[in-house]
A and B are shown apart, each in its own frame.
Chain A
């Protein structure tokens, strides 16, 4: 009879770590006239994320580094930033997916007023979001004690655009938005799409009217930067063109 013995714990081979250089675009509104690049060397594992590097820098090297982050798991949408020239969530970008033989460039998202380091003023972004009335508006009250019934197909119709976390990666990747901050931007249109094509909502016409504006969907030049940038994989450009079609046909 074998006596249960503790198996020798598998000694993990020492996981290799690398020195990664991060070039971060710093800006302190109280001291600086212009943003400037500053580089930091950080010891990183391939499984670490860019957010971990920012934490290491802030906690061990320079406590003045400012950035937003909340959940750190790709749901809250706080830490959208431009990593190596592309909008990404810092908490979803792994070191192993970056070319660490070269410095990793990290800077704030573009097109919104820079406040400090990696933090931008998100108000204009949320103003556009509010303008498209992102809430359910129904003309009929739900049967007391019952939910509003919807078929699987009706739910599927707008499933893609329910995934939005409002991180602004799409809007701040849009060349049209960079030059014209009045443009509603992909994120606002995605959230309008979510209600326009919801069978329970009765106010699609109002939202289509709002987006049939000079600064509405027709500003979209189909550059697909938003679709490439979306950390949730939403087909943003497709959603915008569906809204365009709905406006042309006059119905959702």
Chain B
């Protein structure tokens, strides 16, 4: 963000570099797919961080490792896994969409976004019932 104040306003340093907050920018499919891609990307990163830490725990003490892994088998974590898979599936399909935009054609980005959503729904329909049966039947 360029912070240099406008030339004529040097006596009002405190206000000249002000950014207007204003309304939320009403972007369309492209912007919201990017926002979702960012959110899911950061979420997956933090999951991987935790996942590496808990796996590394086995080097510290196998008992501690087992205790942590046991936590993962609670229903609450089972629901968390649904969110995790949902984030990964979206990030994966939208990643393919971005590759196609860059290397194939930017014209079909909107159609491709709805295809991504469709594929996400299909994948989740296949995964979620099976997964929840596993989580709640143990």
Which residues of A line the B interface, CB within 8 A? 25, 27, 29-30, 32-35, 82, 84-86, 105, 107-108, 110-115, 121, 123-124, 173, 175, 178-182, 221-225, 227-228, 235, 237-238, 241, 244-245
> Which chain B positions have C-beta within 8 A of A85?
23-26
Tell me the bound Cα distance from A35 to B28 in angstroms: 26
Q: Which residues of A contact B27 (CB under 8 A)?
A: 173, 175, 223-225, 228
Interfacial chain A residues near B17, Cβ < 8 Å: 113
Inter-subunit contact A113/B6 (CB<8 Å): yes
Establish whether residues B102 and A241, one from each chain, have CB atoms under 8 Å apart when the complex forms. Answer: yes
Contact A175 to B34, CB < 8 A, known contacts A30-B12, A222-B102, A241-B106: yes
Contacting residue for A224 out of B4, B22, B25, B31, CB 8 A? B31
Cross-chain contact A25 with B109 (CB below 8 angstroms): no
Asked whether B137 is an interface residue with its Cβ less than 8 Å from the other chain, the reply is no
Are B25 and A115 touching (Cβ within 8 A)?
Answer: no
Query: Which residues of B1-44 are within 8 A (CB) of A?
Result: 1-6, 9, 12, 14-31, 33-34
Contact between chains at A107 and B15 (CB < 8 Å): no
B98 at interface by CB-CB < 8 Å: yes
Residues of B within 8 A of A (CB): 1-6, 9, 12, 14-31, 33-34, 98, 101-103, 106-107, 109
Known: A113-B6, A238-B106, A244-B102. A29 touches B16 (CB 8 A): yes
Complex: chain A residue closest to B30, CB-CB: A224
Bound form: Cα–Cα A110–B3 in Å: 13
Let me know if B23 and A105 touch, CB within 8 A.
yes
Q: Which of B9, B23, B34, B101 contacts A29 (CB 8 A)?
A: B9
Give CA–CA (A241, B30) in the complex, Å.
15
- Please, which residues of chain B bring their CB within 8 A of the CB of A182? 2
CB distance from B23 to the nearest CB of A (A): 5
B34 nearest in chain A by CB position = A223
A86 contact set on B, CB distance < 8 A: 25-26
Q: How far is the CB of B37 from chain A (nearest CB, A)?
A: 8
Please name the residue on chain B nearest to A37 by beta carbon.
B22
Q: A224-B30, A228-B28 are in contact. Are A113 and B3 (CB under 8 A)?
A: yes
Check if A237 sits within 8 Å of B106, measured CB to CB.
yes
Which of B4, B25, B103, B106 is A113 in contact with, Cβ under 8 Å?
Answer: B4
Do the beta carbons of A181 and B1 come within 8 Å of each other? yes
Which of B5, B20, B101, B102 has a CB less than 8 Å from the CB of A107? B20
- Pick the contact of A241: B3, B21, B101 (CB < 8 A): B101
Closest Cβ of chain A to B22, distance in Å, is 5
Extra inter-chain contacts (19) besides given A35-B21, A84-B26, A85-B26, CB under 8 Å: A82-B23, A82-B25, A85-B25, A86-B25, A110-B25, A111-B19, A115-B6, A115-B16, A123-B4, A124-B2, A173-B27, A224-B27, A227-B30, A228-B28, A235-B107, A237-B101, A237-B106, A238-B106, A244-B102
